[in-house]
Amino acid sequence: MSQDLSLHQRRRPPKSEELGGIPWLGQLLEDERERAVAALVVGDAKAGDYVCRIGRPVTYWFGVVEGLLKMSADNAQGLTMTFTGVPPGGWFGEGTAVKREPYRYNIQALRKSVVAGLPIDTFHWLLDHSIGFNRFVMHQLNERLGQFIAAREIDRLNNPDVRVARSLAALFNPVLYPGVGEVLRITQQELAYLVGLSRQRVNEALAALQARGLICVEYGGLRVLDIEALRSQVFPPREPA
């Protein structure tokens, strides 16, 4: 039996540079920020670690300081459906936290990641006392709704190039994922997990998107050159070789 500590058991106080990667702290007044910082914890997740699981009670509101997480669930046929990836700067589960209901999805680390957690009671205290925090959560919920509508549309797309393009555009959302910036640190295999395609097919799609001048594949990541085109263009199917 493994003696490895769980992610919860590996929690620790955040470092100052890790606090700098939490976008909503800057929206708080001084006393609100002090209370939040005193309650915040971080955990060093290993690849494959679960941050939360379906059916478990909500205890924290989570965010990504470093790394990459995957949000997914299993359907009635036992197949895994991936909803989205969560890159640096992304906080998730605010709807679950507001309602204090069990999780309806799994969150798993795709690589070594630093995950921050705000205890649920502190989350609700900020909702009750902080206008800045309420605005941040409201914007999150609004963007999240648009994200999941887009995810449903992506699931119905038959063109792999478009699937990859739309999925990349979602990961570059500046409201939900302000820590990404201009370059997303992601491997082709990680992107394949998120998009639901093979690594080879993702590689072909990335080459096609780069040839169209929409992205630039760099060492260890991707740079988006035309985010609006990734979100809106419909590419014709490519002729078989």
Q: In this structure, is residue 35 part of a structural domain?
A: yes
Q: In this structure, is residue 238 part of a structural domain?
A: no
Residue in 114, 90, 66, 79 with CA at minimum distance from that of residue 175: 90
Q: In this structure, is residue 126 part of a structural domain?
A: yes
Domain CATH for 183: 1.10.10.10
| Claim to verify: residue 43 and residue 140 sit in the same structural domain | yes
- pLDDT at residue number 150: 65
Question: How many separate domains does the chain show?
Answer: 2
Contacting residues for 180 by C-beta, under 8 A, at least 6 apart: 87, 88, 89, 171, 172, 174
Tell me how long the chain is.
Answer: 241
Q: In this structure, is residue 142 part of a structural domain?
A: yes
Domain boundary among 120, 152, 184: 152
Domain CATH for 40: 2.60.120.10
pLDDT digits (tens, 9 = 90+) for 49-101: 999 999 999 999 999 999 999 998 876 666 677 778 899 999 999 999 999 99
- pLDDT at residue number 2: 41
Task: Give the span between the Cα atoms of 167 and 147, in whole angstroms.
Answer: 10
Q: Which domain holds residue 207?
A: 159-232
Task: State the pTM of this model.
Answer: 0.83
| Claim to verify: residue 93 and residue 191 sit in the same structural domain | no
